[in-house]
Structure 1
Amino acid sequence: MVLVTGVAGSGKSTVAQLLADRLGWAYQDADDFHTPANRARMAAGEALTDEDRRPWLAAVAAWIDRRIAAREPAAVACSALKRAYRDQLAGGRPEVRLVHLHGSRQLIRSRLESRHSHFFPARLLDSQFADLQEPEPDEHACVVDIGRPPEAVVAAAVAQLRAVPTEEPHMPPTASGEQWSLRHGAQAAVVAELGGAVRHYEVGGRPLLDGFAADERITGGRGQLLVPWPNRVAGGRYRFGGEDHQLPLTEPENGNAIHGLLRWVPWRLAARSEDAVTVGTTLFPQPGYPYQLQVAAEYRLGPEGLETTVTTTNVGDTAAPYGVGQHPYLTVGTDLVDTALLTLPARHRLGADDHGLPTGEEPVEGTAYDFRTARPIGEQHVDTAYTGLDRDPAGHCVVRLAHPSGSRGIDVRLIEGIRYVQVYTGDTLSEPGRRRRGVAIEPMSCPADAFRSGTALTVLEPGGSHVFRWGLAPWGSW
C-alpha cells in the first residue's frame, strides 16, 4: 500500500494512478471521500479546518484498512499535509509506505492556474503550504522532486520504494500486545495494544490504577474501552432502523452482550510523543452490528493528570446506534477499597435486576448509595450506575476517591459526552484475590441496555462523530 502525499497541484493523482498501473494495483483518490459540503467550501475559496477533515480522514483510513485486510494493494493519492494526518492514515500500519511529492511553490501555482475542472482553486495554495509539515525521518517517506515528467517521477518513486525495505509486522511477546509508555514529570502511564486499554498509571512511583501486567491476561474489563456500547444489552437483542439484530452473548451466565465489540482486538498506533499516544481501530460491519465506525483514543499526560479522548466517526452509509465507556479500577493505596473515601455528586442511581439490567431510576437521598458527601465505602457492595450528575460551571462532573487520611487522592473528571458513571467495588470478580482491591469508576455515555431502551443512546449519522472525554487528576501528597 502506497500513500502519495503533497499539496494540491503537486501531481498526486497522476503519480498515484501511474504508480498503480505500473505495479498492477488498485488506485484511489482520497478526494473522493470528501463530503459535498467540504467540496463546496474549497470551491468557494474556503480552507478546510481540522474539524472539517476529521470524517474525511476517518473514511480514508477505513478504506485503507479494508484493502489491507483483503490483501489488496493500492496506491492512494491524499494530501495528508500534517504529520497528524499521515499518522492517522499510516501510523501503526507497516503495510503503508509514503511517497511525498516535493516541488517549488512557483511550479505548483502554475500547474493549479492551468487546470479549470478541479474543485480546488489556486488561491487556496497558500493555505496548503501553511499547513504543510514535511515528512520527518521516522516516517521513512520516499521524497520525490516533481520538476520532471510524471513517468520520471514514478520511476524515481519506485526506485526508492524498492531500495528501502518494508518494515515487517511482528507479534509482541506479551499477552496484551505492544506497550506504549507516556511520561510527564512524576507521572507515567502505559497503554496496551489489545483493546487500546490503559494498563498502568502512576504518580511518583505510586500506582493509581489497579491495572494489569503486560504479560497478564486482562480480566474484569481493566482499563478497557467499551465501544460501541458500555455495560449490557439484554439477551444481545435490539431493534434499530426498522431491523432486528442479535449480538453475540459475551456474558453467557446472564444471557447478555456486554461491553461492546472492541475489547479483544488490536488497536493501531496512530501518533505518539513523550506524553501522549493515539491509538485507533476500525469496527467493521458484522453480525449483530452491521455498521462501520472509525475509533481513535488519545491518552495525554499533562499538569492536571491523564486525559482520555475517544473520537468515533461513522464511516458507513447508514445511521448507527452508539455508546461508549471505559473501565478503570482506581486505588489510593489502601489494601481494600473499604477505607477509601468516595465523593460522587449524583442525585439518582439506576436500580438493577439479577442480570445487571436497569429497573428504573431512583433518588439516592436517604439510601446507602448516597455518596454526595465524602464517606468511606465500607463493606458495602456497589455495582450501580449513577446519573443526575452535578456539574461545575464548565459542565464537568468530578468524582473523588481519597485516601483515608484525606491527604491525597484522585479525581475522575467527566468532561464531555458522559451522562452516567458506573461504580463497582469488584465483589464478583472471578479472581478472589482481586476483589475490592480497586473501585471501578466507569464513565459512560449511556446506561446499560440503551440499545433497547434508547436512553441517552447516540445515533451516529453517516459522517457524524462523537467525542467522549474524561480524565484522572491526582491531588495531594503523592
Structure 2
Amino acid sequence: MRLRAGDAEVTVEPKHGCRIASLRIGGTEVLRQGERYGSFVMVPWCGRTRGGRFRNGGELHQLPVNAGEHAIHGLVRGRPWRTACRDERSAAFYHDLTDPWPWPSRVTQVVELAEDGSGLTLTLGVETIGNSFPAQAGWHPWFLRNLGRGGQDVTLDFAPAWQEERGEDHLPTGRRVEPRPGPWDDCFGMPDGVDVTLTWPGELELKVASRAEWVVIYDQQDEAVCVEPQTGPPNGLNTHPRLVTPIDPLEVTTVWTWRSLV
C-alpha cells in the first residue's frame, strides 16, 4: 500500500506486521531494503525481555524465546494486520493479539503523511478487551547509513539525560550512567521526549521526535542505523511496567520531519 503527499511516498505492508517498508523523499529511499528493512512495530514489548518471563501481579508468564535466551521485539512484526481505512496520504490498521499473549487485546497503527509531504506521523495504540496487563510499544526503523548518492554517511545528534548501563546480556543493569560515545546498542532516557536528528551532510536532515521518554540507538551495522522511540526500556515489562486497563489504553506517537540540504 502506497501513500503519497508532496514529494514523499510511504509504502506500508499490512500483511508483514504493518511495517513501513519504504520511505522515499524526493525520489530517494531513506530506509534500508533487503532482509532487515523498513521500520517495524514493537508490541506488546520492546527490545529484549529477560528469559521471556515477566509478571502481572503475582502471576508469572512465559513468552516465546527468539533471541538467545530472551524474547525480543514483541509479537506483531511478522503477523498480518487488517486495514481499517485509508485515503491518498493516510491509513489506519489493526491487529488482534491472541496466544501466546495471555490477554485478548487490540493493537492499532495510524500512518499519516503531512499534507505537504514534509513529515510522517505514526501512532500506536494498545487496548485490552478484558483484563489489565503490562505492555510496551515502539518502532524499530532501519535508516540507511548512506543514501547511495555519493554523499557522506549519516550523523546522529541527540542529548539524552542518561544512558542505561548495558550488561553482558544486552539488557539494562538498572544503573543509569552518563551518556557514552558509540557505537551503540543502548537505551537512553529522554524525559522531555525523544528528540534525535539524523543528518546526511549536504543531502537531508531528518528529525525523530516523540513524547515517549526512551530511545534505543543501534548503529553497529554497516548498512543502517536504528533510532527506536519506545515507551520503556528493554526488559521494561519487568522493570518499568505500564499497565493497560479498560479505561486507560497505551498510546504513543512518533513524528518524523525532514528537510532537504541540497
TM value normalised by structure 2: 0.91
Instruction: Check conservation: 1:283, 1:294, Cα contact below 8 A.
Output: yes
- 2:52 alignment partner, one of 228, 236, 250: 236
Match of 2:206 in 1: 410
Q: Which has the higher helix share?
A: 1
Q: Which deviations, in whole Å up to 9, do the C-alpha atoms of 1:107-152 show, x marking residues without a partner? A: xxxxxxxxxxxxxxxxxxxxxxxxxxxxxxxxxxxxxxxxxxxxxx
Secondary structure, aligned partner of 2:31? coil
Match of 1:385 in 2: 187
Q: Distance in 1 between matches of 2:242 and 2:214?
A: 13
Q: Which moved more, 1:235-244 or 1:324-333?
A: 324-333
Q: Distance in 2 between matches of 1:324 and 1:231?
A: 10
Residue 464 of structure 1, CA deviation: 2.8
Instruction: Check conservation: 1:332, 1:410, Cα contact below 8 A.
Output: no
Match of 1:282 in 2: 96
Percent identical across equivalent pairs?
A: 25
Q: Which runs of 4+ in 1 moved over 6 A?
A: none
Within 5 Å, which residues of 2 pair with 1:259-278? 259-278=73-92
Q: Distance in 1 between matches of 2:119 and 2:46?
A: 24
Q: Distance in 1 between matches of 2:214 and 2:245?
A: 22
Match of 1:172 in 2: none
Q: Distance in 2 between matches of 1:337 and 1:292?
A: 48
Residue 331 of structure 1, CA deviation: 2.8
Match of 1:83 in 2: none
Amino acid at match of 2:61: H
Amino acid at match of 2:158: L
The number of residue pairs the alignment matches comes to 257
Match of 1:182 in 2: 3
Within 5 Å, which residues of 2 pair with 1:152-171? none
Residue 312 of structure 1, CA deviation: 1.6
Secondary structure, aligned partner of 2:205? strand
Within 5 Å, which residues of 2 pair with 1:349-388? 349-359=163-173, 360-364=175-179, 367-368=180-181, 380-388=182-190
Question: In terms of Rg, which structure is larger?
Answer: 1
- Closer/same/farther in 2, CA of residues 325 and 211 from structure 1, 3 Å limit: farther
Instruction: Check conservation: 1:233, 1:449, Cα contact below 8 A.
Output: yes
Q: Distance in 1 between matches of 2:147 and 2:2?
A: 25
Secondary structure, aligned partner of 1:475? strand
Residue 459 of structure 1, CA deviation: 0.1
Match of 1:203 in 2: 25
Secondary structure, aligned partner of 2:237? helix
Q: Which has the higher contact order (CA 8 A, sep 6+)?
A: 2
Match of 1:293 in 2: 105
Within 5 Å, which residues of 2 pair with 1:66-215? 180-193=1-14, 194-212=16-34
- 2:197 alignment partner, one of 400, 405, 426: 400
Q: Which has the higher strand share?
A: 2
Structure 1 gaps of 5+ residues are 1-179, 213-217, 369-379, 428-434
- Closer/same/farther in 2, CA of residues 337 and 466 from structure 1, 3 Å limit: farther
Match of 1:149 in 2: none
Please tell me whether residue 328 in structure 1 is matched to residue 131 in structure 2.
Answer: no
- Closer/same/farther in 2, CA of residues 338 and 242 from structure 1, 3 Å limit: farther
Q: Distance in 1 between matches of 2:108 and 2:43?
A: 11
Structure 2 gaps of 5+ residues are none
Amino acid at match of 1:196: C
Instruction: Check conservation: 1:332, 1:401, Cα contact below 8 A.
Output: no
RMSD after superposition: 2.1
TM value normalised by structure 1: 0.51
Residue 476 of structure 1, CA deviation: 2.4
Residue 241 of structure 1, CA deviation: 2.2
Match of 2:254 in 1: 470
